[in-house]
Structure 1
Amino acid sequence: MRFAIILSVLALFFVACSEKKEQKIEVTPNTVVPADVPIAKSDANISIDNDFPPMPVAE
C-alpha cells in the first residue's frame, strides 16, 4: 500500500513539473475593434460637485 502511495505521489510530482510553454497572445495598440462591438461615447458634460462626490460602484 505504501509503495502505491509513494509511486502515485512521484507520478503526480513529475506530471505537475512538466514544462508546458503556452502561446502568448500579442496585443498591439493598433488592433482594430470589430464593427459589432459597441463602444460607449464619453459624456462631454462631466462635472463633479465637491459637496456630493460620486458614489463608488457597488460590486
Structure 2
Amino acid sequence: MVEVEKKLMKFVPKEFLLDSHHWLILHGRYVCLARKPRCGSCRIEDLCEYKQKTSDD
C-alpha cells in the first residue's frame, strides 16, 4: 500500500489530494471494473500496467 501511495503522490497535484481518493474509488466503480475493465474509457490508462492484459471495450 505504501508503494502505491508513493507512486500516486507523484501524479496528484497538492490541490487535489483531499478529493483524489474519492475519484479513484469512483473510477474503480465505473471504469476499472474487476470483471470487465473498460480500458477504452479510461482517462488514466497511460499510468496503467493492466491495460496490456485486456482488450478494448
Q: What TM-score bracket applies, with the shorter chain setting the length?
A: under 0.3
TM-score under structure 1 length normalisation:
0.22
Structure number with greater Rg is: 1
RCO higher in 1 or 2 (8 Å CA, sep ≥ 6)? 2
What is the TM-score of this pair, normalised by structure 2? 0.22
